[in-house]
Structure 1
Amino acid sequence: MAVKKDLSIDYLGVKCQNPFFLSSSPVGSNYEMVAKCFETGWGGVFYKTIGIFVADECSPRFDQTNKEGLPWVGFKNMEQISDKPTEVNFENMYKLMRDYPDHVMVASIMGSSVEEWKQLAKMCDECGVPLIEGNFSCPQMTSHDMGSDVGTNNELVETYSRAVAETTDIPFIAKMTPNCKNMEEHARAAIKGGAAAVSAINTIKSITNIDFENMTAMPVVNGKSSISGYSGAAVKPIALRFCAQVLQDQGIHELVKQGKHDYGHGHEMSGIGGIETWRDAAEFLALGCRNVQVTTAIMQYGYRIVEDMISGMMHFMDERGYESLEDFIGVALPNIIPAEDLNRDFKVLPDFDDKKCIGCGRCYVSCYDAAHQAIDWDEKKRRPVLNDNCVGCHLCLNVCPVQECITPGEIKWKEGRKQVDVTVKKHYE
């Protein structure tokens, strides 16, 4: 029997049938593409960023990193904002809202001056979109008056957010750049200026590969290349970190409460970065994000991945006893604490399952060459044997190719430390 759960969620006062959105990118840049994504099951789309500036693109403009023949680990793109006329983009969004009223259209905009931000905000108002995202974070714009150069300037972030907020009552979402030291301060500037929330992360400035044929970076454009944005599965840990830090910032929550777009959920962040599966999405929600945005996985696998995301999320909720997304949004956030507050009074020794062990020796090699020489090797049985050098780092567990062959085992307390109940992860997937 198919599992059915309610995946609907309110985001900044807008009812969404599910939390799965396309992020502002090539995957949602015209009527036909967005129509197909809606028909496939996506809850909404952050339409490809619109500006008064119309992009003139280079060719080629994509590259990827992989490992051991696997699909993309990461993806580099040198594409800017929409290369279509501003009026065409707004016409497309208007038609999509008319034809697909049960799906959410978010207009992503980018200006280079207060006047342009106000002009674009007014056009959003006239178009009737329910939400606006401001792109303060594209790292490969050819103009330094736009993109991530703006996103690291608190004065401009606040000024441009205010320009939009003073022009329209539509909730404004500031899209943050990870190419910064402290995202929280930039997010505070956006909320202070009138933004309702932030989304993060946009792509990370990168060089993916060096081409030895032309002695430049990839992709090669007439023998040259450029630093530009990196996305895909490789950036998910970085995205989760930024989201956690922004969501834990009490100053941002207080500013949201003082603003005109407090819908009772605190800071309603939109999570972006390396999301490919329902599990990835659930991780962002567990930190406190209220929706997630996807691009790179769609470039690899197509819009159809949302079907697996919907099914997987429903099964996850059923197994955990959750009736709605609200039951687990933000539950993991309080458990992310400063390093100095972690309990360091004990060590958790690894437990080896000899029946599952295939005798490959990876645990032994990794421990000897990169850790604490805590594993001896039984040549006759071809099995690892733990010795007294073990500090409980669990490198062995992480390199073992067999699921749950090595698991957390005995807890040993450091001498003189107070013993308390300890929670450990028992099952690795």
Structure 2
Amino acid sequence: MKKQQVIRIKEEAGRCLLCHEPVCNAGCPHGIDIGRIVRALNFENRVGARRRLPVVHYCENCDAPCVQACRRGKLDVPVRIKELFCDLFALHVDVPKTEVDLSVDFCGVHCENPFFLSSSVAGSNYDMVAKALSMGWGGVAFKTISLLDIREASPRFSALSKEGRSFVGFKNIEQLSDHTYEENLGFLRRLRQDFPGKVIIASIMGRNEAEWTRLAADMETAGADMIECNFSCPQMVEEGLGAEIGESPELVARYTAAVRKGTRRPVLAKMTPNITHMEIPAKAAIAAGADGIAAINTIRSIMNIDLDTFLSEPGVNGQSIEGGYSGKAVKPIALRFINEMRKDSALAEVPISGMGGIENWRDAMEFLLMGCGTIQIATAVMQYGYRIIDDLKEGLGDYLALRGFTHVQDIVGRALTYIVSAEDLDRTSIQYPCFVRNNCIGCGRCYISCFDGGHQAIRLDTDGKPALDVHKCVGCHLCILVCPIQAIEPGKRVQKK
């Protein structure tokens, strides 16, 4: 029953519009912060959601005026808040009584928590960053500062959606900060003065060694705690900039050394994923004086070609370009690159600031478990706002507390030993799927996928429910993945005959 409750909770909460000012709150006669609870559920923070429910189960006998107020009803059907909360009340969730210190030390800099805005439009002026830091973010990698004359295109964003979920993937054709050099230095100086306990990372990009050195020196003078070298922006108009640097270990080394010459602050080299082996330029950066690595930046992409006009998005006056792909879909790629760097003996102990597809605390945990010391986020902020920091911190803190960890560092890198080379995998045993027939609704999805894309190991009984042919099943678990109600589970592992 718990699994079905979790499915219902996730699906119904996912219908919420995540309004700026939830009108459902005003409709609650018991003063429950409905919007905040549903937002927590959207970001995988069930413990935080359960913590905010009152002790008394008011919802059970309520006529639910909150549902009538729900703005979703103007589109189709309101969020079924009463049923959602009844499921949440019935779901057993352990709520820790203690809090965990989320502070981390990264490249010798103390951070109050590991969550940073990554270098993007989400951190591109004083007011924006000040709001984010006031809401609890540990720091910011300010949008890349340069001496270039930046003129942005319009429009410059596009999103990939699937089954009602927008921003599964996100494309941007933005370049660097379009504020003047002096304006950007002014932003950094004000942020340093007004937020002395926060960490300010200045992202920079130069055209030659002299510019890289000057930029680094000026950022330190303005108050930056770290310097991040943007070796990875995929859509620069001039040759020898952005991702073209990150694809060349020689350029990475040359410009890292130039930055090192200009500053005593920790230096991060931000790597491009538009390359086969990121560890090669990463090692060049460390050898030339970088203190850590930031990875990954966006992936070169083309998105959403219109079948009538043949124009891809975003379309700028009848044209488009390759742009940077980000969002949830790139997370597996980011984790792969981080694993490869961590498995290289020359990079095994090098601090890494991880990014790429992080939306909630569970995503962040994956990066920490793969060996990242801090987390950077942009696309999720652009979709949901700075407020996601609430569930990021709460979710991470609750996870650590419930498992007896006292510091974030306790879990950093713990997943690395479980990722092995192909020849080390156990290929002598098989784990068959197990059908939970009481939960099965007889949709036949497992049968279709197994027959058309698997090994024809499933047949349907007279009641429309699946039965397994163990002589044909290879234990691939495709059926588990396609089951829409999670009525198929991993079974026992046995030795192959």
Relative to the length of structure 2, the TM-score reads 0.79
CA contact (8 A) 2:103 2:112 kept: yes
C-alpha distance in structure 2 between counterparts of 1:301 and 1:139, whole Å: 24
Q: SS at 2:347's partner residue?
A: helix
Question: Deviation string for 1:357-412 (max 9, x for gaps)?
Answer: 1111111110011000111111x222100002111000001111113x21111222
**RMSD of aligned alpha carbons:** 1.1
Match of 2:481 in 1: 398
Q: SS at 2:346's partner residue?
A: helix
CA contact (8 A) 1:46 1:107 kept: yes
Match of 2:246 among 151, 157, 160: 151
Q: Which amino acid aligns with 2:393?
A: I
C-alpha distance in structure 2 between counterparts of 1:192 and 1:122, whole Å: 20
Shift of 1:143: 1.1
CA contact (8 A) 1:54 1:84 kept: no
Match of 1:385 in 2: 467
C-alpha distance in structure 2 between counterparts of 1:70 and 1:181, whole Å: 30
Match of 1:407 in 2: 489
Relative to the length of structure 1, the TM-score reads 0.92
Match of 1:204 in 2: 299
Match of 2:234 among 126, 139, 158: 139
C-alpha distance in structure 2 between counterparts of 1:68 and 1:331, whole Å: 34
C-alpha distance in structure 2 between counterparts of 1:145 and 1:176, whole Å: 15
Q: Which amino acid aligns with 1:52?
A: L
Q: Which amino acid aligns with 2:239?
A: H
C-alpha distance in structure 2 between counterparts of 1:340 and 1:280, whole Å: 28
Match of 1:261 in 2: none
Match of 1:424 in 2: none
C-alpha distance in structure 2 between counterparts of 1:96 and 1:205, whole Å: 32
Question: Deviation string for 1:246-277 (max 9, x for gaps)?
Answer: 11111224xxxxxxxxxxxx211000100000
C-alpha distance in structure 1 between counterparts of 2:442 and 2:397, whole Å: 38
Question: Deviation string for 1:293-330 (max 9, x for gaps)?
Answer: 00000111000001011111111112222111111100
C-alpha distance in structure 2 between counterparts of 1:368 and 1:215, whole Å: 36
CA contact (8 A) 1:207 1:218 kept: yes
Match of 2:158 in 1: 63
Q: SS at 2:143's partner residue?
A: coil
Match of 1:118 among 209, 213, 220: 213
Q: SS at 1:48's partner residue?
A: strand
Q: SS at 1:355's partner residue?
A: coil
Identical-residue share of aligned pairs (%): 50
C-alpha distance in structure 2 between counterparts of 1:115 and 1:194, whole Å: 16
Q: SS at 2:354's partner residue?
A: strand
C-alpha distance in structure 1 between counterparts of 2:477 and 2:264, whole Å: 52
Match of 1:314 among 397, 408, 414: 397
Match of 2:355 in 1: 272
C-alpha distance in structure 1 between counterparts of 2:485 and 2:118, whole Å: 36
Match of 2:381 in 1: 298
The residue correspondences of 1:188-337 to structure 2 (distance < 5 A) are 188-253=283-348, 266-337=349-420
CA contact (8 A) 2:159 2:166 kept: no
C-alpha distance in structure 1 between counterparts of 2:392 and 2:492, whole Å: 36
Q: Which amino acid aligns with 1:279?
A: R
Question: 1:357–1:3: structure 2 CA closer, same or farther, 3 Å change rule?
Answer: farther
The residue correspondences of 1:89-128 to structure 2 (distance < 5 A) are 89-128=184-223
C-alpha distance in structure 1 between counterparts of 2:164 and 2:364, whole Å: 25
Shift of 1:3: 4.8
- Is residue 76 of structure 1 aligned with residue 171 of structure 2? yes
Question: Deviation string for 1:58-87 (max 9, x for gaps)?
Answer: 111110101122121100000000001111
Match of 1:185 in 2: 280
Q: Which amino acid aligns with 1:204?
A: I
Shift of 1:128: 2.5
Match of 1:341 among 404, 409, 424: 424
Q: Which runs of 5+ in 2 are unaligned?
A: 1-50, 52-96
Q: Which runs of 5+ in 1 are unaligned?
A: 254-265, 416-429
Match of 2:262 in 1: 167
Q: SS at 1:210's partner residue?
A: coil
CA contact (8 A) 1:54 1:82 kept: no
Q: SS at 1:178's partner residue?
A: coil
The residue correspondences of 1:410-425 to structure 2 (distance < 5 A) are 410-415=492-497
